[in-house]
Amino acid sequence: MPMMMLRLALPLVLASLMMMPRLREARAEEGGDAEADARSGGSRAIALVGGRLVTQAEAGTIEGTILVRDGRIEAVGEAVEIPEGAERIDVSGLTVTPGLIDARSVLWLPAATQRDGGNDGALDILDGVDPFAEDWHDVARSGVTAVAVQPSNSGRLGGRGAVLRVGPGGTVEDLTIKGDAFVQAALGVNNASGNSVLRYQQFEQLKRTLDGVKRYKEEWETYEKALAKYNEAKEKAEKEAKEKAEKEAEEKGEEDDESGDQPEPEKDESKEEDDDDEGSSGTRPRQDEDEEDDDEGETPAKEDEEESKEAEKDAKADGPPKEPERDETKEFLVKLLTGEVPLRIEVHREDDLNNAVALAKEFDLKLIVEGLSEPRSAREGLVKSRTPMVLGPILESGGRPSYRRDRDRSWPAGLPAEDSRWAIGTYGDRPSDSALLRAHAAAAVARGVPRDQVLRALTAGAAEVLGLADELGTIAEGKRADLVAFAGDPIDPSTAVALVLSGGEVVVRDEDATPAEDDLATVVDLDLPDRLPGRYVLQTRRLLNDDGTTGPGALLVVEGRIEASGEAVDAGDDIPVFDVGDATVTPGLLTAHSTLGQGRAVAESAGADAGFLRAVDAFDPTGRSVREMVRGGVLRAGFAPGSGNVIGGAVGAVRLGAVDPVVEPIIGMNLVLSEASRNLERFPVSLPGQYALIRQFLGTQDEADQDARRSLDYYLTGPAIDRLDATRRERAAALRDGRCGAFIEVGEATEVALALDLAEELGSCVALVGPGAIEEQADRVARLAGEGPGLVLVVRPMPPGPERSRRWASVCEAVEAGAGLLFSADDPEGLRLAAASMVAAGLPRAAAIRALAIANPADFDEPGSCWDAGSPADFVVWDDSPIDLSSRPLAVVVDGEIAP
Amino acid sequence: MRCCKIMLERFQDRRAGQGLPLPESSRTMSRSLHLRIRAWVAAAAPLVLLAVGPAAAAGDDGDVLIRAGSVVTVEGETFAPGAVLVSGGVIAGVGASIEAPEGAEVLDLGEGTTLLPGFVDVDLPGGVTGPSVEVTREITPRFNPLPAIDWSSRSFVEALAGGTTAGAFIPLSENVVPGMAPVVKTAGSRRVVEAEAALVVTVASDPASRNRSRTRPDSIYVRQPTNRMGVVAMLREALNRASRGAEPDLDTTLPVEADPYEPLRDVIQGRRSVLAISRTDYDILTVLRLAGEFGYAPIILGGQEAYKVAGPLAATGVPVVLGPLRINGPYGPERTELAWNTAGVLHEAGVAVALSGGDLLEQARFAARFGLPEEEALKAITIGPARVLGVADRLGSIAVGKAADLVALEGDPLEFTTPVRWVMVDGVVQFPRPKPSEED
């Protein structure tokens, strides 16, 4: 009985399954028009008019029009006819490039997917994509329209990677530009860095896996050959039998009518179906055989029986060849061996790279290599074979993993050759880190990779590496309409993005992004001697002025001090003049609040109130990060105590790279309301406790009560405690009277609110370091910025994302309302990137320059000025503006001499 | 201490110059437990509210008249149908029917609807930045989570959506004397109701659970108390030191508090109410014993096993604020044995009961389902907790002169399927949240 029901039900199910696509079609037809119109990717054409088009194709860079229809580029050129009804978007003055491609991203991947890796190649990254994630907004706003994603490098052979779009999600299919784009592999990345045995083991294991795939492929090839042979033989036998039967029939006589011939095969088929239904499932070999079938031990025997019955002929003695076991993973990985899908392998060291190349040779693989921290001699082979490469991250934010630790300072300069196929990856930990792609690109330029090559790597180069040259990477007819209009140089991260089209759909449009007036080409050949004389004049066409602009000017330097400055300085004939041409000359950059990697040396661990300490007393002028700073053009710092204490001590102003570093030992007191100073092992561990301690330190209670305060909680003798306490009280008094400022480290909105409470109460300028969640109290911030002793925002770098967008916007508002602005970071690139991202978010370029290069830490609430006569001759010669991350210091001068 | 005081004063300033009266309940508290405590059990004289309050006639701009299928005043009678007039964020009239003053906005909720006073949660969950207790010392009576409250926290929105319009933040039970509980509104422009509504003490094993006797000698983990007996001993010592005016003990009190014992002295003198965190029957008895020694009137907070000691609680007139409902198995570090009808048993024995810890309406529905009379279930989330926190003069019932904190429900409030239509705080509907355009 059940069989009967099944027989009835099955056709119904099948019928309904067949109907489904039709229903879907019908629905699509109904709502189609409206939907298509709603998405600009629909039939309505878009014309981008008047832009400078960096096509990355044969056409080169042209002025012209791009016509986009149905998500594709329909026409490009100087004379494109714009059809009626097309939406015109004016991009005059803007630079239009193909959408940028991040070749290593975690966009669309939830945290669990980001971590997931494997060793047998079974994963498909598309199974881990979250198509509803919102991070794409920030990535699109930076001009990136496509990202490559793959399983993590925690495994040797994770599985399939894909190229996804950056635009509204919905379904994984909508997002996928190319699935199965490559297979991820890694050698020498995990637990293997220093251990050659483990390294070799990984190589062997990967090789064994690939061997397994190869064996699998061969097994099936053998089987298919045998099967073909068997079928041929069977057919031949059948034919012979038929012929024989026909002959017999003919012999029987011709009076039989023809009706017998036609229905016969049909009858046979129906019979077969019946057989199936009657319980002998798996009696027929099927292509998509599943496990159930495998369990049937007697299958081959039955099969033979059936076969022989059907054929109505004696079976051959050996029967059909046995089918090898099917393995879906290996089935796919076979494509590696046939060259359909490339193996994308992460290798960092020369030996691993050689091993990867050996694997490629042995298994005839197409390779994409990434990592390449120390390729050494293996580089030549890569360049010669034009093996596609993915390079990144070029900027390291935070701790770098051990396998990237040996990278040269100038990496990846000198790695890709002019004709190399290569792309840049951001290798971020957070989905929106792909928004930093241009920052990585700019850093590559600053390290010496030619600008045009870098731009190519972001577009056409990346498309080629990912096997999408027909689809992405160039502005040409028929390509996917992924386009970006920049208000300036695309590589400069401070350039605003005016328009982004993703698959013909406008996903970003910023009418305020107006082209910068910056003239681009300023290639500088600096001709400065290694040792500068005691007196000289430095002349440039771009000397920084106090208002943040640049203009022609000269500096007279005498014995390490600036004697005079101006458009032309009056100096004797015997004084040598160095003309640096178009190079930009600025004072050393300022990191306004930093421990310069010396946080440990400048934090008291015995108690949370260390108001008697001064950070400058522990300043090490030769520390590693100090040297890094000097090399990167940062010559001034607000040197702060560590943030482990609520009252950390005094922040001092120091010159970096100078013999006599301390400028001002106390510019403000360091107060910490953020989580960093909460410590279970001593008071305080809570925010109310932190606040109470600060108020106790400040003694904002009435003066009469001062003596009632308990003394410091240190294991010292009475007189020592009294002395420290006196110092502490003196500092607190200075803070109350406005003789020095307060740097308050904050994060959460509640902490910002308490810091603003203190600011309202104090007679001193308060600097919010972070600057914390000021967006939650924008009104109060604006009010405080406009009145009183002043409010300064010390902006530290933040990863891209919606939080940063909101924070940067409120910083811009506060600055407009009158708040001071300073930048702070622990490395020069982070410092400049903070400024650049702020400019991209709408901060006037001059304001950013003033905060970065002109502001004076010793007097941080004043606007500051540069080139004061008598001040130390500390300056930096840049090949372009320091805000542009792709420019670099050509010469760093401290005390009138070139810094080593 | 001084700084704390100033800190708190500044919050009070934000309350638009409202004075800070001491909690009604604590003022009336008697010094000895042998006397019954009037504030809790003695029913406040029911306010017979006649149709129109004086302010209603004025017909000020911004007056709101709300008509509902029934108006449950909680303390007084229930009007069905009923009407409430709100003027200047305060209730100006309650009655069976009120004529709308000129220019007043009229909100007619329709038949079958219920209007309740806003719920008051003695233990609001979440909303504090960082730890809500200063665990570096054990006796921190001046600690107040108020400065660390994140006013934009999502937990306020959640509480508001459930009908909770006010409540207290309880410092965590990890200290012997964790600190002060402030009472705040969950929405509106004047959020702080009472900066120091009650002192919280712990009479349970929680403060001891962190401390170990064999770790680094300079670590806080090595300190006392390491057991429940030690917790009680330390609390008793602190109360003793406070009552004899001793110097603060540097090892147990915070360095920033000049006179940390002042709140404890207030407690002993009956000027400040005490919330004692205890869950098991023997801890609750300890609370009663300690209170007897020093002559103050405690309130039990938690009280999961209070049903076992309902008699002594009733005899001493100590109210119980029950912690959040946990019905699946023993609860907490002491594996407290829970009962389905703790609230009902306590009420029957004559103990004043309040519910706390979030989802108040759901908790009241459960309590009613398992035996607490319906009107008592509603009191346990409104006037009950308001009395416990000493703010019953301003919150907790629908009465002329009290804040217009109201909850409109689509039907019977104790029916599980009844949704909340809107929640009003100080005369302004705050849930569903007003659209930004309407806020201006």
* Among the partner residues A692, A749, A776, nearest to B3 by beta-carbon distance: A692
What pLDDT is recorded for position A319?
Answer: 80
| CB–CB contact A684 B137 (8 Å) | no
Rounded to a whole number of angstroms, the distance from the CA of B57 to the nearest CA of chain A is: 38
Element holding A429 (H helix, E strand): none
| CB–CB contact A688 B147 (8 Å) | yes
CA distance A176 to A403: 31
Inform me whether the C-beta atom of residue B211 falls under 8 Å from chain A C-beta atoms.
no
Residues in chain B: 440
Query: What are the helix (H) ranges across A510-668?
Result: 624-631
Query: What are the helix (H) ranges across A466-604?
Result: none
CB contacts under 8 A, B 110-129 vs A, are 128-129
What pLDDT is recorded for position B46?
Answer: 34
| CB–CB contact B147 A708 (8 Å) | no
Contact A738, A763 (CB under 8 A): yes
What pLDDT is recorded for position A48?
Answer: 95
Q: Which residues are bridge partners to B205 per DSSP?
A: none
Q: Could you tell me which of A434, A527, A501, A551 has the C-alpha nearest to residue A149? A: A434
Q: What is the CA radius of gyration of chain B?
A: 22
Q: How confident is the model at residue B326 (pLDDT cuts 50, 70, 90)?
A: low
Query: Could you tell me whether strands B274-278 and B192-202 are parallel, antiparallel, or unpaired per DSSP bridges?
Result: parallel
| CB–CB contact A681 B130 (8 Å) | no
| CB–CB contact A685 B134 (8 Å) | yes
Residues of A in Cβ contact (< 8 Å) with B130:
675, 678, 685-687
| CB–CB contact A687 B129 (8 Å) | yes
What pLDDT is recorded for position A527?
Answer: 75
What pLDDT is recorded for position A700?
Answer: 66
* Among the partner residues B7, B144, B255, nearest to A710 by beta-carbon distance: B255
Contact A647, A615 (CB under 8 A): no
Q: How confident is the model at residue B42 (pLDDT cuts 50, 70, 90)?
A: very low
* Alpha-carbon distances, residue A24 vs A11, A21, A30, A31, A613 (angstroms): 20, 5, 10, 11, 73
Each as own residue / partner, the long-range contacts of residues A328-333 (CB below 8 Å, 24 or more positions apart, any chain) are A329/A120, A329/A121, A329/A122, A329/A159, A330/A212, A330/A213, A330/A216, A330/A217, A331/A216, A332/A121, A332/A160, A332/A180, A333/A121, A333/A183, A333/A210, A333/A213
- Chain A positions touching chain B (beta carbons under 8 Å): 675, 678, 680-689, 691-693, 695-696, 700-701, 705, 708-710, 713, 748-751, 754, 757, 776
Q: What is the pLDDT of residues A137-157, one digit of tens each?
A: 999 999 999 999 999 999 999
Residue A72 phi, psi (nearest 5): -125, 160
What pLDDT is recorded for position A39?
Answer: 45
* Among the partner residues B10, B134, B152, nearest to A686 by beta-carbon distance: B134
* Alpha-carbon distances, residue A336 vs A119, A120, A341 (angstroms): 15, 13, 5
Measured from the Cβ of residue A775, the count of other Cβ atoms closer than 10 Å reads 20
What pLDDT is recorded for position A69?
Answer: 94
Which amino acid type is present at position A731? R
Measured from the Cβ of residue A19, the count of other Cβ atoms closer than 10 Å reads 10
Compute the average pLDDT of residues B212-220.
55
| CB–CB contact B258 A709 (8 Å) | yes
Contact B222, B211 (CB under 8 A): yes
Is the CA virtual torsion A500, A501, A503, A506 positive or negative? positive
| CB–CB contact B134 A684 (8 Å) | yes
Contact A150, A427 (CB under 8 A): no
Residues of B in Cβ contact (< 8 Å) with A675:
130
Q: What is the pLDDT of residues B106-155, one digit of tens each?
A: 999 999 999 999 999 999 998 999 999 998 889 999 999 999 999 999 99
| Residue A738 structure tokens | 């406005």
* ipTM at complex level: 0.82
Contact A365, A338 (CB under 8 A): no
Dihedral, CA of residue B355, residue B359, residue B360 and residue B362, to nearest 10: -110
A255 vs B270 pLDDT, higher one: B270
CA distance B308 to B368: 19
Dihedral, CA of residue A232, residue A237, residue A239 and residue A245, to nearest 10: -170
Average pLDDT taken over every residue of chain B: 83
Inform me whether the C-beta atom of residue B154 falls under 8 Å from chain A C-beta atoms.
no
Q: How confident is the model at residue B15 (pLDDT cuts 50, 70, 90)?
A: very low
Is the CA virtual torsion B204, B210, B212, B218 positive or negative? negative
Contacts of B246 (CB under 8 A, 6+ apart): B240, B261
pLDDT above 90: residue B223: no
| CB–CB contact B220 A748 (8 Å) | no
| Residue A94 structure tokens | 């803007």
Inform me whether the C-beta atom of residue B9 falls under 8 Å from chain A C-beta atoms.
no
* Among the partner residues A680, A685, A713, nearest to B255 by beta-carbon distance: A713
Q: What's the pTM?
A: 0.84
Contacts of B395 (CB under 8 A, 6+ apart): B117, B118, B120, B165, B166, B193, B386, B402, B403, B405
| Residue A82 structure tokens | 């714009």
CA distance A601 to B254: 27
Rounded to a whole number of angstroms, the distance from the CA of A729 to the nearest CA of chain B is: 15
* Among the partner residues A675, A680, A710, nearest to B220 by beta-carbon distance: A680
What pLDDT is recorded for position B341?
Answer: 87
Which residue, chain included where needed, has tokens 């406008």?
A506
pLDDT above 90: residue B328: no
Q: DSSP letter string over A465-490?
A: HTT-TTTSSS--TTSB--EEEESS-T
Kindly state the DSSP code that residue A558 receives in the 8-state scheme: E
Inform me whether the C-beta atom of residue B247 falls under 8 Å from chain A C-beta atoms.
no
* Alpha-carbon distances, residue A458 vs A176, A439, A451, A522, A808 (angstroms): 19, 12, 11, 22, 26
Contact A635, A889 (CB under 8 A): no
Q: Could you tell me which of A129, A136, A146, A139 has the C-alpha nearest to residue A168? A: A136
Contacts of A215 (CB under 8 A, 6+ apart): none
| CB–CB contact B136 A689 (8 Å) | yes
Rounded to a whole number of angstroms, the distance from the CA of B11 to the nearest CA of chain A is: 11
| CB–CB contact A688 B2 (8 Å) | no
SS3 for A782?
helix
Question: Which parts of chain A sit beneath pLDDT 70?
Answer: 1-43, 192-194, 253-318, 516-525, 700-713
Q: What is the CA radius of gyration of chain A?
A: 36
What pLDDT is recorded for position B106?
Answer: 94
| Residue A882 structure tokens | 């320091």
Is omega for the bond preceding B21 within 30 degrees of 0, making it cis?
no
| CB–CB contact A696 B6 (8 Å) | no
Inform me whether the C-beta atom of residue B131 falls under 8 Å from chain A C-beta atoms.
yes
CA distance B384 to B122: 10
Under 8 Å CB pairs connecting chains A and B tally to 97
| CB–CB contact B4 A751 (8 Å) | no
SS3 for A445?
helix
Q: Strands, E, within B69-212: which ranges?
A: 70-72, 78-79, 82-87, 90-95, 105-108, 114-117, 119-121, 164-168, 179-185, 192-202
Q: What percent of chain A has pLDDT over 70?
A: 85
What pLDDT is recorded for position A190?
Answer: 79
Contact B163, B363 (CB under 8 A): no
Query: Could you tell me whether strands B119-121 and B164-168 are parallel, antiparallel, or unpaired per DSSP bridges?
Result: parallel
Q: Could you tell me which of A871, A842, A838, A829 has the C-alpha nearest to residue A854? A: A871
A242 by Cβ neighbours in 10 Å (0-12 / 13-18 / 19+) ranks as exposed
pLDDT above 70: residue B271: yes
| Residue A619 structure tokens | 């300043």
Rounded to a whole number of angstroms, the distance from the CA of A435 to the nearest CA of chain B is: 29
Contact A888, A878 (CB under 8 A): yes
Contact A191, A198 (CB under 8 A): yes
Residues of A in Cβ contact (< 8 Å) with B256:
683, 689, 692-693, 695-696, 710
Residues of B in Cβ contact (< 8 Å) with A750:
129, 147-151
CA distance A6 to A497: 61
Q: At what angle do helices A687-698 and A749-761 cross, to 10 degrees?
A: 10
| CB–CB contact A692 B131 (8 Å) | no
Measured from the Cβ of residue A452, the count of other Cβ atoms closer than 10 Å reads 14
Choosing among A686, A721, A725, A750, which should be mutated to test the B contact, i.e. which has the most B CBs within 10 A? A686
∠ CA(B334), CA(B339), CA(B342), 5° rounding?
Answer: 105
Inform me whether the C-beta atom of residue B6 falls under 8 Å from chain A C-beta atoms.
yes
Rounded to a whole number of angstroms, the distance from the CA of A702 to the nearest CA of chain B is: 9
Dihedral, CA of residue B380, residue B384, residue B388 and residue B394, to nearest 10: 130
